[in-house]
Amino acid sequence: MTLHSAAIAGDATSAITSTVQVAAGNVRIAPDIGSAIVGSVHHGDVLNVHG
């Protein structure tokens, strides 16, 4: 199990894990992980996903 963490921030220079796609205020884990998380994401939120 790998722990993927991504801090969502308004700063365009922030690094986001390549397996996390942020669109329309939602976060969806890439299909290759085998799971998807969809919900509201606000600036400063931290996501901890076990793949």
What single DSSP character describes residue 33?
Answer: G
Predicted pLDDT at 12: 41
Q: Which domain holds residue 30?
A: 3-50
Which residues make beta-bridge pairs with 24?
Answer: none
Q: What confidence score (pLDDT) does residue 4 get?
A: 55
- The structural domain count of the chain equals 1
- pLDDT given at position 13: 44
pLDDT in tens, 3-51: 555 555 444 444 455 445 555 455 555 555 444 444 445 545 566 655 4
